[in-house]
Structure 1
Amino acid sequence: MAAAPRSILIFFIIAISAFHLSYSKPNGFTLKLIPRDSPQSPIFPGNLTTLQRIERLIEFSRARARYIELTSSPNATTLHPDNIRLTLLRDNFFYMVQVGVGTPTTGVYLLLDTGGGLIWTQCLPCINCYPQRTPMFDSSKSNTYQNLPCSHPLCQGDRSLYKCVNNECVYNINYGGGASTSGIASIETFTFPVDTASTVRLGPVVFGCSKNTQNVQFAKGGAISGVLGLSLSPDSLASQLSATTQNRFSYCLVPFTQAQQAPSLVRFGDDIPHPSSNIYITPFVPTPRSHYFHLNLLDISVGFRRLGFPPGTFAAAPDGSGGCIIDSGALIPQINQNVVGGCNAYRQVMSAFQSYYNSFQQLMRIGKVPQGFALCYKYPPDFNMFTSMTYHFEDADYIVDPKYVNFYDEQGGYFCVALIPGNGKTILGAWHQQNMRVTYNGNINSLQFSVETCSNDV
């Protein structure tokens, strides 16, 4: 992806009214996304073939799915710790941002977590930090740094996110599997590059000055300094900034086949364009124990065949487990394979695809492929009867174009249905969001979407 070296993706949703912001534009701005396999990424793996890129996307998707399932579980800190330890904070984040912290600014790269809350970066002096090859933020050298006072709402009450210890507001985040970070809850000014010539300064922003980081395995020897939380949690960057961005953010993901040539943009507030096609709206589902963006999925269609899942098949449990979420960090979509109400949704969806494609004599089913997809076919070059898939959400049908339902290996002459099984959640991942304008509108607590050619979003 041809993104500027100082690029960023941010997601904004709920308001915290106590924060004042300063923008180059009063009510909106536009930023760029850095995928980890982009040449602009500090953990760029080198030039990869299309096949290698897709294999990595699938690996990230599976790791991301495990992470989401484990961290949204009521037993997140104890459930299957060995499954999460090797992938946590390493393979389950595909996107990152470059930001400046403090005044004068210290540039850091942070991994994006749409399901996480606190923004944190390693800080000097550090009691126990992993090696970081970029400079750590030194709060003593910033003119705008402050400790978050114990009187702050985020640090008061039995259910507060942080705790007051020895007159300091401190945090301790346990990601499960032995990975954790702790430090001083702080307030600072953040600087985000808009392009090569201008920046946006936001503040004050609550963040974590990490002094003790355990078992966090960032790739490539410390190029990443921390995590940028963008969830519905009140301490995420999204929540803190939404008052000025009118509770709205929007992105349009350029197809992965074009991602090295055209950047994907994230727009905020007044910078969100008016869609050129029909807008569809579905409400977010309140899920008290989860900060992910849950949607009310009622049913699924393969082509014109509606599968007729029983009510509640895709509903979230009261403890936050299960349900259907939209997550751009989960690249390959997944359908829950756990039996709910006597049905295995993943198996039924894949059976419907198999039934459709088996009806064409010119298609030949093949077995194992390098990408690991379960349903693949050899096909002649002139075959063009690929089918769509529809997510039937509350009040809106989200139709995935046939081009983005499947993965195509042109050299191998085969295609595969681009779905993987989920162990609890159904996830509308980035593969099914290609060439779709997706807007998170907190004013109406809903997701808006419309078809768009994302490479034209310049």
Structure 2
Amino acid sequence: MDRIPVFTIAILLFFIASFQASSATSKPTGLSMKLIRRDLLFPGNLTTFQRMRRLVQLSVRAQNFDSFPSLNQSEDNVLVRLPIGRVPESYAYVVEFKIGSQFHPVKLLMDTGSSLIWTQCEPCIQCYPQKVPIFDSRTSTSYSKLPCTHELCQGENNRFRCYNNECVYNIQYGATSRRNSPRTKGVASFEAFRFPVDTVHTTVINDMIFGCSNDNPNIDLANGQISGILGLSRGPDGLASQLAKRGIIENRFSYCLVPFHDVLRQPTILRFGDHIPLPVGNLQYTDFILYPGRNHYYVELLDISVGFQKKGFESIPGMFELRQDGLGGSLIDSGTVVSTIDENTIGRNAYKEVMAEFQAYYDKKNFRRKVGQVEEKFELCYYNKAGFRDFVTMTLHFEGGDYFIDGKYMHYFADEEEEGEGYFCVALFKSSKTILGAWQQQNMRIIYDMNGGGFQWITETCANDHFP
């Protein structure tokens, strides 16, 4: 057998070493995954009006679950953690990928208001009906449980707790006073996540932290189409945080929501790191506010305008700040479908005053008020006028930038063909927090940048953001 010259071997070793060094020190890149709107999972051929009503009704149901830990109590260290006041049913967008050595498919609801990634797991104590097979960790050779010695299971920054020598969690969605609030319990675990790159290739990331939930009372997600939740908040167990800690991405992610009235012919994209496109135009931003023990995306809201009428809330310092009782505060949350305004702000009732501006605008134009409560539970509704398009806008004046909401995304439109006489409503709910929800994020490039860039936004035609 011919020998390979020593010089050739040396050259090969040099290139191998160079490649390994460059791989180890290479910059974080990015990751992309399909973002499927939840109404695509609804059975049957629903009309646009039926889709819209169902989404809004899910959001309405969520308003009945308001409970928040006080500032003296970390939301992450209580046994029963209380996320933003809504149940999982109100989420609107889904991601799909595979986990484990058996390539098990999961469909998880995107949620920027919580951090834990979880899916239902066998053997079940109490699982809700699921059409796709429930993940069984016993069949996966890449699965393991988080040890009780892990930093997330002990110490001051623990997310879970050790019980019977297992690292477990117990998450309740909603108020502790409600006996039938949705809840998920399970074991904190490690597993391989397999994200599709294209129709052929897959990115495999081993030992991702997730929740293996085998006890899920009072949860019912999209008629069994959904297996769990994809947490994207700032917590260390959130997807973006985990990917950034491994150096796979820079700690930022982005999405662009196609208008709910439009038929979504193909999924859009949830983007991480360098896969986020460079915005064209005037990108605006505001810094995130970091509250101890809080992992939601809080921002500083100064004032609100309805049309060109600025309310002057900024004259009251701290009006929209998080209060000691855990209420108040302004945040961004994709899991809340319709935006809310705090009705308990200090000094003035922000929700009442904003709604009064909307009412004054339409009353002045002689619109006929729709009397009585509509099925969607909106407070202010009017009957349509043929050809009218001048629906009033709203602007959230954040520290550093103005978030302008077009009139067509500030209202809910009931289809005339379905209701006999069409009507529209101001798409806002009262709450104990001010939340910028998914409805008012339509056709907007949204970027969460935890590297110091804060919350960023710019208008975009979101239907163009899809895989080839």
**TM-score relative to the length of structure 2:** 0.81
Q: Does structure 2 conserve the Cα–Cα contact (< 8 Å) formed by 1:379 and 1:413?
A: yes
Equivalence for 1:208: 211
- Aligned residues: percent identity? 47
| Cα pair distance change 1:196/1:66, threshold 3 Å | farther
Equivalence for 1:51: 49
Equivalence for 2:113: 115
Q: How far, CA to CA, are the matches of 1:427 and 1:397 in structure 2?
A: 15
Deviations 1:107-128 (A, max 9, x none): 1223333222222223333445
Query: Cα offset for 1:323?
Result: 1.0
Q: Does structure 2 conserve the Cα–Cα contact (< 8 Å) formed by 1:389 and 1:402?
A: yes
More helix by share: 2
Q: What does 1:6-405 align with in structure 2 at a 5 Å threshold?
A: 27-38=29-40, 41=41, 44-67=42-65, 69-71=66-68, 88-89=87-88, 91-157=89-155, 159-175=157-173, 176=176, 177=178, 179-211=182-214, 213-219=215-221, 222-242=224-244, 243-309=247-313, 310-338=316-344, 340-361=345-366, 363-368=367-372, 369-405=374-410
Equivalence for 1:7: none
Gaps of 5+ in 1: 1-20
| Cα pair distance change 1:332/1:307, threshold 3 Å | same
Q: How far, CA to CA, are the matches of 1:430 and 1:48 in structure 2?
A: 21
Deviations 1:122-178 (A, max 9, x none): 333344544544323232322222222333211222552223345433333344445
| Cα pair distance change 1:158/1:434, threshold 3 Å | closer
Instruction: Give 3-state SS (helix, strand or coil) of 1:357's partner.
Output: helix
| Cα pair distance change 1:239/1:218, threshold 3 Å | same
Of structures 1 and 2, the larger Rg is shown by 2
Query: Cα offset for 1:455?
Result: 1.6
Q: Does structure 2 conserve the Cα–Cα contact (< 8 Å) formed by 1:64 and 1:92?
A: yes
Q: How far, CA to CA, are the matches of 1:220 and 1:333 in structure 2?
A: 21
Q: How far, CA to CA, are the matches of 2:222 and 2:346 in structure 1?
A: 45
Deviations 1:387-412 (A, max 9, x none): 21100001111111122122233523
Deviations 1:56-105 (A, max 9, x none): 122222233444x32556698999x9xx9xx844x222333322111121
Instruction: Give 3-state SS (helix, strand or coil) of 1:315's partner.
Output: coil
Residue identity in the other structure for 1:116: S
Q: How far, CA to CA, are the matches of 2:147 and 2:120 in structure 1?
A: 20
Query: Cα offset for 1:252?
Result: 1.0
Instruction: Give 3-state SS (helix, strand or coil) of 1:246's partner.
Output: coil
Q: How far, CA to CA, are the matches of 2:253 and 2:151 in structure 1?
A: 25
| Cα pair distance change 1:203/1:377, threshold 3 Å | same
Q: Does structure 1 conserve the Cα–Cα contact (< 8 Å) formed by 2:91 and 2:337?
A: no
Q: How far, CA to CA, are the matches of 1:193 and 1:442 in structure 2?
A: 25
Residue identity in the other structure for 2:271: R
| Cα pair distance change 1:370/1:70, threshold 3 Å | same
| Cα pair distance change 1:219/1:327, threshold 3 Å | closer
Residue identity in the other structure for 1:231: S
Q: How far, CA to CA, are the matches of 1:159 and 1:274 in structure 2?
A: 35
Q: Does structure 2 conserve the Cα–Cα contact (< 8 Å) formed by 1:279 and 1:449?
A: yes
Q: Does structure 2 conserve the Cα–Cα contact (< 8 Å) formed by 1:277 and 1:452?
A: no
Equivalence for 2:440: 432
Equivalence for 1:415: 424
Q: How far, CA to CA, are the matches of 1:446 and 1:75 in structure 2?
A: 22
Q: Does structure 2 conserve the Cα–Cα contact (< 8 Å) formed by 1:64 and 1:329?
A: no
Q: Which moved more, 1:405-414 or 1:432-441?
A: 405-414
Deviations 1:214-248 (A, max 9, x none): 42322466443333222222112232112422111
Q: Does structure 1 conserve the Cα–Cα contact (< 8 Å) formed by 2:268 and 2:463?
A: yes
Deviations 1:166-218 (A, max 9, x none): 5433333344445443333211111123444443322220112234x142322
Gaps of 5+ in 2: 1-22
Q: Does structure 1 conserve the Cα–Cα contact (< 8 Å) formed by 2:320 and 2:330?
A: yes
Q: How far, CA to CA, are the matches of 1:78 and 1:72 in structure 2?
A: 12
Aligned: 1:453 with 2:435: no
| Cα pair distance change 1:367/1:166, threshold 3 Å | closer
**TM-score relative to the length of structure 1:** 0.83
| Cα pair distance change 1:202/1:71, threshold 3 Å | farther
Query: Cα offset for 1:256?
Result: 1.1
Aligned length: 421
Q: Which moved more, 1:442-451 or 1:163-172?
A: 163-172
C-alpha RMSD of the superposition: 2.9
Q: Which moved more, 1:111-120 or 1:122-131?
A: 122-131
Q: Does structure 2 conserve the Cα–Cα contact (< 8 Å) formed by 1:60 and 1:94?
A: no
Q: How far, CA to CA, are the matches of 1:329 and 1:352 in structure 2?
A: 27
